[in-house]
Structure formats: C-alpha cells, structure tokens
Structure 1
Amino acid sequence: MTATTDAYAARYFETGTLEDIPSGHFIDGAEYPSVEGGMMEIADPGLGRVFTAVSAGDAADVDRAVRSAAWAFDEWRRMPAFQRGRILGAMATKIRENRDLLAVLEVLNVGKTLAEATAKVETAARTFEYYAGVCDKLQGDSLPIGFEQIGFSMLEPVGVVAQIIPWNYPMSTFARGVAPALAAGCCVVAKPAETTPHTALIFARLLVEAGLPPGVCNVVLGEGASVGAALSAHPDVAHVTFTGSPVTGTRVMQAAADHFASVTMELGGKSPVIALADCDIAKTADGVIGAIFENAGQICSAGSRLVVERAIHADLVAAVVDRARAITVGHGLRGNRMGAINSRRQMDRILEFIDTARAGGDRILCGGEAVADPKGGDGWFVAPTVIDDLPPDSPCVQEEIFGPVLSVQVVDGPADALRAANGTRYGLMAGIYTRDVSAALAIARDLKCGQVTINDYWGGGVEVPFGGVGHSGFGREKGLVALLSYLRTKSIVARVPASLS
C-alpha cells in the first residue's frame, strides 16, 4: 500500500524534497552514477526552485546502456511471447500500485496539476495493458507462390531501440514507446528529458519488479546534446523514436542516418479546433478550453487555434473567455485547475509571443501575462490567454507557442475553415465541432493531419494511432500500427516436390 498523494504533498512542502527518489541511471537492472560523476539539478516549476539532483550522463553512459540492451536482446527475443505479455500485464499492475508517488513526481517534474498527472498514470498503465495482449498475436503470412513452393513471412524484432522522451508527458510518452517495443521483442534504452527524469527511472525499476530481465529496458539521464545525440548516433541502435521539436528531430534523423537506423518522429503541432456555425456553443467552449489549457497548453497536439465561423464568433469567443478567466492557476499540488510552465526559459518564450502580438495591435481578450501562485513561491505561470481575430500570417497562428495561448481565426463557411485549418506547415491533429456529421466527415477527409476528432477534442485512447504529417513528423504511435516500427518482416521460401514418389 503506497502513501497517499496528500501525505506526499505535505511531506514535500514541509521538507522541500521527497526522500528515496531515484537519482542514477538505470542500466542492466540497477541504478548507477554517471561514469564521469556528472550531476544536474532538477527544479519544481510550481515553486521555481531546485528540489533534487540526478546523474548527468554522456556517451560513455549511453554506450554502457546500449551494450547492456544488446546483451539482453537474445534472451528477450527468445522468450515465449505469452511470457512477455505476462510481464507487461504485471507492469500495468505495478504502475497502478504506485499511482500516488508517480503522480506527485510528475507534478514536481513537469508542473502539471495532480488531477492531470493522476490521469496519466492510468494512461500509462492502460498502455502496458493494451500491448500485453498483443505479444502472442504477432504473426506472419503464408504466401501464394505456387504448388511447388511454400512461402511464408515471419515478424522479427529489430533489436535495440532508443526512446527519446519529451518533458511535457514523461509517463504516457514512455509507455506508448516502450510498451510496443517490448511487446515486439526489442530491448530499449530510454532518455527522458533533462527536467523530467524521475518517472522514467521508476518505470524501469517497476519493469524489473514485474519480471523483465535486466538490460531489456535501460534509462540514461542527461542533456540532449550529450546523451540524446550519442544515443541517436550509436551504431548498435536499430530504431529511434523521438518526440520533440522539428529542429532537434532533424538532428536525430541525421545522426540515425549515418548507421541506417529507422526513425519515428512525433514533432510539433499547431492544431486547429474548427467550430462550424451549427455547433453547440457551450459544449464547444468546454472542448476548446480543454484542448488548449490542459497541461498549461504544453502539448504537441494542443488545440491552439480556434477556427470559428463568423456567425458564432462573438458568442463562442465570449464563452471561451468566461471559462478561461475562471481557471485557477498555481502549484499542481494545491488543487489548481492549471499548473506551471516547465521552465523559466519556456515561460519567457511564451511571453515573447504574447508581447509581439500586443505590440502589433492584436486583441488580447484575457490573460497575456505571467502570474504568481497566490499561496506563494516563485513558480513559472502564464495566465490563460485568448488572442482574437488573427490574420493567417500571424506568428501566433503559424508558430508553435507551447503554452496556454489560444489564437482565434475567423472564417466564412466550412470551405474557408478547411483552408485556414490547413494553413500551417504542421499537421498533427484537428478537432471539429458541428451537428452536421456529413460536413464533419468531409472536412476530416480533407484535413492535412494525422488524427481528427469530432465533437470531443481528446477523444480516443491507446487503441487509436497517433502521429503527424509535414513538420509534425511521420510514423505512428499507439494502436497496433505502432508495432511496425519495432518489427521487420523476413520472407522464407522452400521448394517442395510436386508429388511424393
């Protein structure tokens, strides 16, 4: 039985830290310091101060982890598939048993609210549960090549895979990459973002407790320029799954190309929420609020653009602004509806976008400034912000702000809405709100993005493939299609006699 989140929160605010949280790399089933002894400080975004430190690795630590994974690969790929499934299923149970600690650490690492973090614990558990059921159902095909030949294909794991995990959703992104990789029979070296290391370390430990052989899943801590670059370039890494910015994604692809590793890229987004004139105003406003202000807007697939028909523009935007102003902002362990920005650097970047819009004469209807937690601390917070009636070339329309900023675009009719929605270089996700199912499906068909939801922006789950087009990347995570990144097809053909004499 774990301590309650209230007990963890009380202990944290009393002592300024939490005891017995992991701090070293997790390699070959155990925790290790960096080869060179490097350390890096970890800050709580909600208080704006350091609360612990962890190991800071480099290429030597990466090499140690990759060699451990390569050594473990032969055992793991030979393990009966149903046994792999049992281990992943046990992992789902372990995650749920440690829900409170994982949720609190996610708040302290990321800055999100406890409610958001707790929901992501369940998302991670459900992801391992889903792929546990897939392990013994991966099979090839028979090939119709003639009476005197027998042909078939078989699926094989690609080998050691790298998972480069972003700071905004450490738990769920770890699970959606690691779980299908393990289900396919691959071994993993994961690199969490430098600001959010703790839940990845705990997940790796829990996997071993669930029965995973040592070395099958390793975690190396450190900055992207050292650990991420070394991992992408390592010649024994067969595949890299990366979530992050397009700029860094380009570097990862270039490094992987040198040794012909395949890649999955989940990059930025500037996703539209399309509101047609016949939509339910109240439900659409609720959907818009959730799409942009969850996790303080720090989501690749956030609905950061409201594309609204002119006939309902005033009413819908008024409803959104009323809801935005009612959102309480503060530390994620204090019961607020919106938490912190992950770093001071990110907060400054968000405010720069807002200041540029203000200087250009754009109408900021609410928010537009940094705010403080009324209960104290020097945390990094930006008020929920709505900027109205922006032109298509506005930086707030074209660029990923990655914060609680909603950019409103006014359009004249569904065709104009489609043009506006497709009017950026990104193509990750889109939402449509309308009572006209035919119109929604026609727009969904023609949207240039990887996922579309109708009348429920965050609809779906682990079963639904996720990924983008254009500058939002390529490849798919979640669902059965995610397994294709971690499997290769081998074809086998045998000649047989036409008859037995």
Structure 2
Amino acid sequence: MEMLINGKADAGNGSAWIEVINPATGELVERVPAGSKDDVNAAVESADLAFGAWSEKTMRERGLLLGRAAELVRRDHKQLAELLTREQGKPIREAIDEVRGCANILEYYASIAGKPAGEAVSLGKAGDCLVTRVPLGVCGAIIPWNMPVIIMGWKVGPALLSGNTLVLKPASTAPLTNLKIAGLFSEAGLPAGVLNVVTGSGEIAGEALVQHKRVKKISFTGNGITGRRIRELTGNRLAALTLELGGSDPMIVMADADVKKAVEGAIRGRFYNAGQVCTAVKRLYLHEKIAEEFMRELTTKVEGLKVGNGLVPGTDMGPLNSPAQRDRIATVVHEITANDEGKILTGGCPVPGKEYERGNFYKPTLVGDVPPDAALLKNEIFGPVLPVMTFPDLATAIAEANRSLYGLGASVWTRDLATVKEFFTHVHAGIVWVNRHLTLPPEVPFGGTEESGIGRENGFHAIDSYTQTKTLFLGW
C-alpha cells in the first residue's frame, strides 16, 4: 500500500518498506513505504501549495466535503473495520464502532460549519472591532496505533474545517485504515494536497514533520517521552501544539453505587481494546462496604472473557498490538510479584494454547493488595492489567486518585449529587464521568492536565486550536 501525497498514491523516494503484521496471527497484512525526510518535504510542499485555495473556500463548503467523506466511511465501514482488526487486533465489533465513530466525528464538524467563528465588539466613540478566526496554514498530525481511526477523525475534522491543510503520519504498526480513509476523502472530492499521508517511523518521518519550518501546528497523541521531544523540537520556531500524552484514570466506586452497572463499567473501561486506551480505567478504587461483593462479580466476569482473534465472532478481547507491547505487560506483571507490590488475583500470564502461540495474547489480569506507592499506580499501564484498592471515605478516594502525575480522565460511581460535586471539584482530570467511563462524543472537549498533555481536541475547542484570531479595527 502506498502513501498519499498531493491526492495521489506515492511509493516514496526510498526503497525501504515497513511490514504491517496481524497481531493475532503473526501474518503479514501489507507493506507500506518507510517514508523519508524527502517524502515529508514533498507532502508539506503539496499541503502548502493547496492551502491558499482551500482556505479561501467558505467553512460551509469545507463542511459539505467532510459530510461527503463521512458518507463514504459509513458506506465502507465493514471493509474498513475488518482491515482495522487485521492490523490493530481489536475485536471486530470494536473496530466497527471505531469506524462509525470516525464518520460521526466528520458529520459533527460538517454540522457546525454554518456557525460563525468570531465576534463584533462595539467600543463606542473609539470605533468598532470585528474579531475573526483564520486558519494557521499547514498542520501536522501524528496518529497512534491504539485508536487510529477515531484519532484520525479528531485531527482531520477540525483541521480541514478550519481551512488548514494537513500532513498526517500514521503509526508504523497500524497505518492501513488511515490510508484507506484518506483515499475516501479524495473520492469525496477533497482537492489534491489538502490531506497528505506519509507512512514511516517516528524517528525519521515523524521528526522530519515536527521540525519542518512550514508546519505551523503539530497535533500528537502518544507517550510522554515523545511528547516532550516534540515540544523541544518545535520550541525554537514557536509552532502551536496539541499533545495528548496518556493517563492513569481512576475509577471510584462509592458505597451507594449500582454494583452490577459499575462492574460492567470497570470491565469495559479496562479491557476494551485490550486496555490499550489513553482514558481506560487504570486504577479501580472500591468503597470498603461494597468491595467484597464487587470483587466476586468482577472476578467471575473477567475470568469469563473470551480472548482471541478479533475477527472470530464472540471474541471479547483481542491481542496486544505488538510483541513489544505484550512483553511490556509481562514485565509489569513480573515486577509486581518480584517487588511485592500486589497479588495476582486472576490472569497474569499469556493465554495458553497452540492457537495463541503466534499472536500477542495476554490474559485479562486483576491485581489486589497494591500498596499506595506501587509503580503500577504511578505509571501508565497500557494493557489488560487492573489494580484494585479499597478506601473508607470520599476524601481518601480523592487523595489516592490525585497521587498520579497524570490528569486525563476520572470517573465516580454514585447516586449522590453532593459526592459528584465534591469529586468533580477536587479531582485532577480533564474530564470527569459519573456512572460511566470512556465515552467521548465529538461535541465534548477532550484533553488532560499535568503529565497528560496540553490542549484540547473535539468540539469547538478544537476549532480554536487550529485557528488564530485576526482583528479588524474600524475607527470612525
């Protein structure tokens, strides 16, 4: 499969290729070019040439095109979802949800295209001001492998609607569905050069994109180490940044919670996409009064989850995306027991059986007796491992929730509005859910505090991040 530059397939300037491997079977899915600095330069030049005409279109015209692209994504959602499962590993029903979610995001941005972005300010005798928002220019987007289709929608939708052009670099292990969707934008009538996709490694293609002087903004979703590197590389030229750098989301279950509903929320919140979600439940805190009942039901249901190839009907959890990702989780679990930082309650090993040998499968894992200063609670664990702790009161739960350096999301499960208010006021998080977790419709601004990054995606807030104000002052 080839890159997309200037609206056309491009095999790249080099001869190197990246193999995309099915994480459930170990089989080759496709090869994509290992994009070079020259490929990135060509993509940026293409985007720069397209910017003038694209930015001069009305927002309504740009929105209509996003709507047509969304129609094509919905038309092809089954094929796109199957490809996503083959390259990323998630169960097919999750892949279908993700592809439809991307279409939903594009539809949302198409729906707000008629709203004016600006304001009029009357200054009396001093005159009047018209404050408008204008696009930044060529923008860069770097997509992770865990939710590549949804996150493509988060970045492409507001960037293009705002009048920017875009160079997108997908993850090396999951670039194929991004390329297919970019092709659908071309089919929908997107002018050449407005959206360009360069495949390749972060070290080469990613760094070339981040350092390019004509790229006015970088939107990156990934780990904190890379996020800090991007901030360093863009600092001297003052490029705009959106950095979503992960989280360690706490889930707090109060004594008055609906236990059955909360158990289902914990399972979906932790084991959806094999736990490879930035806003996954990564720390579960149970009130002492309901902990025993909760754990009985949670353990039974976790042990009943069907792990396997995401294309097989009935699969609840697929493989981890890569052997390296599986090995990281195995190391985390080994260190739990080696350092006496918890007790494995269930799981804690790869899935046995010949049919699992070639895949990156790991059992859903619950960990109890976790001390407050354990590494499992400090670091982001990007996989199907859930530590469970108890607490006596809300103040203690909030204090424990805030011990992490991250501040992406958090949830509280309760029937009491006073509890909700107290939790929302004091917990460190960019988004707080009540009696749910993970839900992120496109209308809702998304982003974190502290080590979880800077900036917001989704909603009108994303439009703001892809534009800057320009003021017309009328002195009468």
User: TM-score, with normalisation over the residues of structure 2?
Assistant: 0.98
User: Does the Cα contact within 8 Å between 2:128 and 2:474 map onto a contact in 1?
Assistant: yes
Corresponding residue for residue 164 of structure 1:
142
Offset, 1:388: 0.7
- Aligned-partner SS, 1:379: coil
1:413 corresponds to which letter in structure 2?
D
User: Does the Cα contact within 8 Å between 1:324 and 1:384 map onto a contact in 2?
Assistant: yes
My pick for the range that moved more, 91-100 or 139-148, is: 139-148
Q: Does 1:340 align with 2:340?
A: no
In the aligned structure 1, how far is the partner of 2:423 from the partner of 2:43? Answer: 46
Which residue among 271, 279, 282 is the counterpart of 1:293? 271
Unmatched 5+ stretches in structure 1: 1-22, 497-501
Identity of aligned residues (%): 37
User: Does the Cα contact within 8 Å between 1:330 and 1:372 map onto a contact in 2?
Assistant: no
- Aligned-partner SS, 2:19: strand
My pick for the range that moved more, 251-260 or 95-104, is: 251-260
1:330-369 pair list within 5 angstroms = 330-335=308-313, 336-361=315-340, 362-369=342-349
Corresponding residue for residue 209 of structure 2:
231
Q: Does 1:397 align with 2:386?
A: no
- Aligned-partner SS, 2:140: strand
Corresponding residue for residue 139 of structure 1:
117
1:248-397 pair list within 5 angstroms = 248-335=226-313, 336-361=315-340, 362-372=342-352, 375=355, 378-397=358-377
Structure 1 residues 372 and 127, CA gap change in structure 2 (3 angstroms): farther
User: Does the Cα contact within 8 Å between 1:48 and 1:377 map onto a contact in 2?
Assistant: no
Offset, 1:460: 4.4
In the aligned structure 2, how far is the partner of 1:152 from the partner of 1:360? Answer: 62
Q: Does 1:244 align with 2:222?
A: yes
User: Does the Cα contact within 8 Å between 1:330 and 1:339 map onto a contact in 2?
Assistant: yes
2:209 corresponds to which letter in structure 1?
L
Q: Does 1:494 align with 2:464?
A: no
Runs of 4+ in 1 over 6 A off after TM superposition: none
Give a deviation string over 1:63-83, Cα, whole Å, max 9, x none.
000000000000100112221
Instruction: Name the count of aligned residue pairs.
Output: 474
Offset, 1:136: 2.7
- Aligned-partner SS, 1:35: coil
In the aligned structure 2, how far is the partner of 1:369 from the partner of 1:274? Answer: 27
Q: Does 1:91 align with 2:32?
A: no
User: TM-score, with normalisation over the residues of structure 1?
Assistant: 0.93
- Aligned-partner SS, 2:400: helix
User: Does the Cα contact within 8 Å between 2:210 and 2:234 map onto a contact in 1?
Assistant: yes
Corresponding residue for residue 429 of structure 1:
409
User: Does the Cα contact within 8 Å between 1:350 and 1:403 map onto a contact in 2?
Assistant: yes
In the aligned structure 2, how far is the partner of 1:373 from the partner of 1:490? Answer: 62
Which residue among 194, 205, 212 is the counterpart of 2:183? 205
My pick for the range that moved more, 436-445 or 120-129, is: 436-445
User: Does the Cα contact within 8 Å between 1:363 and 1:387 map onto a contact in 2?
Assistant: yes
User: Does the Cα contact within 8 Å between 1:134 and 1:183 map onto a contact in 2?
Assistant: no
Q: Does 1:39 align with 2:17?
A: yes
User: Does the Cα contact within 8 Å between 1:138 and 1:155 map onto a contact in 2?
Assistant: no
My pick for the range that moved more, 265-274 or 453-462, is: 453-462
1:26 corresponds to which letter in structure 2?
L
User: Does the Cα contact within 8 Å between 1:372 and 1:380 map onto a contact in 2?
Assistant: no
Q: Does 1:408 align with 2:388?
A: yes
User: Does the Cα contact within 8 Å between 1:92 and 1:125 map onto a contact in 2?
Assistant: yes
- Aligned-partner SS, 1:456: coil
- Aligned-partner SS, 1:382: coil
- Aligned-partner SS, 1:123: helix
Offset, 1:259: 1.7
In the aligned structure 2, how far is the partner of 1:423 from the partner of 1:150? Answer: 49
- Aligned-partner SS, 1:141: strand
Which residue among 182, 187, 190 is the counterpart of 2:160? 182
1:74 corresponds to which letter in structure 2?
G
In the aligned structure 1, how far is the partner of 2:426 from the partner of 2:349? Answer: 36
In the aligned structure 2, how far is the partner of 1:487 from the partner of 1:122? Answer: 27
Offset, 1:377: 5.4
Structure 1 residues 138 and 56, CA gap change in structure 2 (3 angstroms): farther
User: Does the Cα contact within 8 Å between 2:18 and 2:32 map onto a contact in 1?
Assistant: yes
In the aligned structure 2, how far is the partner of 1:292 from the partner of 1:491? Answer: 46
